[in-house]
Structure formats: structure tokens, C-alpha cells
């Protein structure tokens, strides 16, 4: 458990492929202006982090909701619900489908109406021009990005990546700047204008969330940004996928 701002904490966890390659995962904790808490995503915490979380949230009773923002991050939802069963459980349509026995709230986090309930403390954005839930379950490009209004910190799963070497190498080698998901070409909707919709979304978000000081990215790392870093790195990330977008325009119009 690491505190990144007065009212924002991050938990970094393990997610191993074939029990060897640790891709990592994360969960964030936000204290709202009303003093109650929100969890962003779900991760089955180890004992020390679990005790710390419960200690600062009145045994979990001060946690208002668990908000799961990536349709393909479903592995730990049951464990976090069991830890704080009184919290509202919110997810995407795929969460409802993958874990139908959990007491999901009917509103989906990809819907603006659901997001509006938390708008005093959080801003939300989902990429346009891509399938939010891909038919190819290996494509995890889309998610709902979340920005804590008070601190400006962004919590994101997969849609944006920060590449960092694992273990001790990560402390010695520089991490990457912000990058869009490498499977973008597979996620773009097969229709005219999808590439332009994605580019417009990225440009608008670069401007709207300018001043973001920190990005908490799943499977990778925490990126601390200079004052103009968010806008500059988002713009550079968009330029880096321009060939992908151009190929899509050529194929679909």
C-alpha cells in the first residue's frame, strides 16, 4: 500500500502467467470529499495490505463502492467483495456475465449514468472507435479510465501502458513513457471513421486531463509526470500509433 496523494492510495500486486512471468496488477483507494472511500478495481490483497486497508476504512465499513473498470479484469472480484461485502459492487457488462453470482449493481460503469453518481470526486473516460468488449478475449485494449479530481491522479488498466523492467532491473532501467495498448489494430471497430474517433478521443483526453501528475497503470508501473507530461506523452503516444490508424483508414475509410 503506497500513498500517492492526500486522498489517494495504490496497491500493487502479482499476476503471473504460467506461474513464472509476473505481469503485475493493481487496485486504488480514493477517499471522497464526504470522507467515505472508493476502491478502483479488485485485487486479493496480501495480509499486510489487507490489514492496512481495513484499518483506515473502519474495517471496510467506510468503503462505499468497489468500481471495476476493465471488462477483462475479473479474477479478484469475488475476493474483494468477500472482504468488504457491504460495499456496492459495480462493474462492466462482462463482469456481470463472468460472475453472475455476485451482487452486482444494475448500472454498468461504462454507462454515463453510473459514472455520474461519482462525478463529484472522479472523472471517467472510455476510448472511442474501439470495441469496449472485444470478441477476441485476448484483446484488452478498452477500459474506463478514472481520474481523481482532487489529486489529478489517473488510474488505468491496459488502455495506457507504462513499460518497466521487472524486479531489480526496474530500479536501474528507465521506464517508458505512456503508450497505447499494442493490440489497438485488433480492437478498432471495422467501420469508417473508427480510427478518427479514437484519435479524437485521445487528443481530447490529452487536453482535458492536462496537469495529471501520476498515472497508475495495471501490469506495469506508476508513472510520475512533469507538469506538462500528460499532454505531451499522450500526444506522442498517439503519434506512435498513427501507422496503425492510417492502415485502418485505408481498409475501412
Q: What is the DSSP string of 25-85?
A: EEEEEEE-TTS-EEEES-----HHHHHHHHHHTTTTTTEEEEE---TT--TTHHHHHHHST
Nearest 5 degrees, angle CA 216-CA 220-CA 225?
Answer: 45
Q: Tell me what pLDDT residue 14 has.
A: 56
Asked if residue 46 lies in contact with residue 29, where contact means CB atoms within 8 angstroms, the answer is no
Contacts of 134 (CB under 8 A, 6+ apart): 140, 141, 142, 186, 187
Q: What is the largest CA-CA distance in the chain?
A: 56
> What span, in angstroms and rounded, lies between the C-alpha atoms of 63 and 147?
18
**E strands of 51-190, at which residues?**
63-67, 88-90, 122-125, 145-148, 154-156, 160-161, 179-180
Residue 226 CA to residue 208 CA, distance in Å, equals: 16
Alpha-carbon distance 211 to 234, whole Å?
Answer: 12
* Count of residues making up the chain: 253
| pTM of the entire predicted model | 0.90
pLDDT at 158: 87
C-beta of residue 222 within 8 angstroms of C-beta of residue 10 = yes
pLDDT at residue 253 in the model: 84
pLDDT value for 205: 98
Q: What's residue 175's pLDDT?
A: 60
- The DSSP 8-state label assigned to residue 175 in this structure reads P
Residue-level pLDDT at 102: 98
Q: What is the pLDDT of residue 13?
A: 57
> What structural domains does the chain harbor?
2-252 (3.60.15.10)
| Average pLDDT per 10 consecutive residues for the chain, totaling 253 residues | 96 55 72 98 93 97 97 90 98 97 98 98 98 91 97 94 60 72 95 98 98 86 91 97 98 92
Report the C-alpha gap between 28 and 10 in whole angstroms: 4
Amino acid at each position: 500500500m503506497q500513498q500517492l496523494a492526500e486522498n489517494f492510495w495504490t496497491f500493487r500486486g502479482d499476476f503471473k502467467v504460467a506461474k513464472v512471468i509476473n505481469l503485475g496488477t493493481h487496485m486504488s483507494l480514493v477517499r471522497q470529499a464526504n470522507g467515505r472511500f472508493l476502491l478502483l478495481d479488485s485485487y486479493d490483497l496480501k495480509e499486510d495490505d489487507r490489514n492496512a486497508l481495513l484499518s483506515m476504512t473502519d474495517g471496510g465499513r467506510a468503503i462505499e463502492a468497489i468500481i471495476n473498470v476493465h471488462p477483462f479484469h475479473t479474477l479478484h472480484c469475488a475476493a474483494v467483495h468477500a472482504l468488504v461485502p457491504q460495499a456496492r459492487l459495480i462493474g462492466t457488462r462482462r463482469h456481470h456475465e463472468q460472475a453472475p453470482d455476485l451482487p452486482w449493481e444494475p448500472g454498468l460503469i461504462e454507462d454515463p449514468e453510473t459514472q455520474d453518481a461519482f462525478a463529484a470526486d472522479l472523472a471517467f473516460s472510455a476510448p472511442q472507435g474501439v470495441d469496449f468488449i472485444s470478441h477476441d478475449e485476448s484483446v484488452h485494449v478498452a477500459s474506463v479510465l478514472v481520474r481523481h479530481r482532487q489529486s489529478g491522479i489517473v488510474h488505468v488498466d491496459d488502455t495506457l501502458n507504462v513499460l518497466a523492467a521487472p524486479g531489480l532491473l526496474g530500479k536501474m532501467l528507465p521506464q517508458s513513457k505512456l503508450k497505447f495498448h499494442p493490440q489497438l489494430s485488433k480492437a478498432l471497430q471495422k467501420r469508417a471513421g473508427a480510427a478518427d474517433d479514437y484519435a479524437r478521443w485521445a487528443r481530447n483526453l490529452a487536453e482535458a486531463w492536462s496537469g495529471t501528475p501520476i498515472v497508475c497503470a495495471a501490469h506495469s508501473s506508476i508513472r510520475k509526470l512533469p507538469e506538462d507530461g500528460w499532454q505531451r506523452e499522450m500526444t506522442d503516444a498517439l503519434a506512435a500509433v498513427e501507422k496503425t490508424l492510417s492502415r485502418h483508414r485505408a481498409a475501412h475509410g
